[in-house]
Structure 1
Amino acid sequence: MSTWRTRIEPFTRPLFFVWSRLTRGKTLGVRGVAVDAGGRVLLVKHTYLPGWWLPGGGVDKGETTQDAVVRELKEEAGLIARTPPRLISIHSNERFFPGDHVLVFRIDAFDLGERSSEGEIAEIGWFHPAVLPEDVNRGTRARLAEIFDEVQTDTNW
């Protein structure tokens, strides 16, 4: 699916990186692994990036990483955590954006509500970790293999 955001992303992403570096120095992001009662994992498709991803995003100034992942899950998928997220792993995202780090949290107890983000998420889906869509982002696929297939954790995203 090609949207205007997909077409302009290659041009706007470098500007976003410059702005992030100027306002944040190092950057910190979070991703949430939400698992439903059937063992399925929540994934999202952005309007501006190809493929399926774990929901998540940047940690805002003054926000804890746990608060950030709870906020991102609510915004992107309408997921409302009932218990605190559990830290699973920490990764360097140097390959994609120098100075960036990503923390992965797991959330097992939640309710589903309405998404609060507008225009960012094209689609949400629940998938069994053994039967993922072909177009799952490489980092997402690696994190799920580490969690569900006991593959050794790679500290690089």
Structure 2
Amino acid sequence: MVVDDLWFLADEASQRAEQAYHRLGERYSDYLDDRRTRHVSRGQFRTLAARVKRTGAPYGAQTIVSRTGDELLLVRHDGVDMWVLPGGEVDDEETYHEAAVRELGEEAGVSADYRGLAVAARVDICCAEYGTWGVLPVFAATADDAELRVEDPDDEISAAEWFPVSDLPEDTRDRSEILTWCDRFSW
């Protein structure tokens, strides 16, 4: 195997992810550990590894928002053409929680009562010859019947809607994981 700059980037990213994961464990308790693998192109791998090196999180932070105990908030992400949990990248000097709160406001116009960390997912990122990993923190929150407003500065989100947990759209990203999380937290 030829060692190149991508190998070093992947190694640095893994170290940063390890630090981020341990900090989550020190700060929060009673959350669900999860693990998933994403196979990506070499170019996407470089982008995600650089993001993990900077923040520890390849996909930022998300929020699973419930209302009236049996509805979840999802947003329509045009880039992947799927319903997803609100969330996104972590800005410099921003905590995961701060990023989750900001993204929820931008993508759905909702203020929520945050209850803590629901899930700390380890995301293994693989391309043909390299691998690294990062964390995906998913926070739990509740919201009332506030009017939903999409004000996404990135123009990736086109809609925000409440869905009954028992009737999440089939094109919901990570649908089975979300349903498992809802079952775990009795939503």
Determine the C-alpha separation between the residues in 2 that align with 1:134 and 1:46: 14
Higher helix share: 2
Matched pairs, number? 138
- 1:116 deviates by 2.7
* Aligned residue runs from structure 1 range 1-157, under 5 A: 13=44, 16-17=47-48, 20=51, 24=54, 26-27=56-57, 29-37=60-68, 39-81=70-112, 83-95=113-125, 98-109=132-143, 111-112=146-147, 114-118=149-153, 119-137=155-173, 139=174, 141-150=175-184
- 1:21 deviates by 5.5
| Letter of the 1:132 counterpart | L
| Letter of the 1:120 counterpart | E
Q: Assess if the C-alpha contact under 8 Å between 1:31 and 1:69 holds in 2.
A: yes
SS state at 1:79 partner = coil
- 1:95 deviates by 4.0
Determine the C-alpha separation between the residues in 1 that align with 2:124 and 2:49: 15
Q: 1:36 to 1:99 in 2, by over 3 A?
A: same
SS state at 1:45 partner = strand
| Letter of the 2:116 counterpart | R
Q: Assess if the C-alpha contact under 8 Å between 1:34 and 1:108 holds in 2.
A: yes
Give TM-score, length-normalised by structure 2.
0.61
Structure 1 segments unaligned to the other structure (5+ residues): 1-9, 152-157
Supply the RMSD in Å over aligned alpha carbons: 2.9
| Letter of the 1:76 counterpart | E
Q: 1:95 to 1:18 in 2, by over 3 A?
A: closer
Determine the C-alpha separation between the residues in 2 that align with 1:74 and 1:66: 13
- 1:62 deviates by 1.1
Determine the C-alpha separation between the residues in 1 that align with 2:138 and 2:63: 6
Structure 2 segments unaligned to the other structure (5+ residues): 1-40
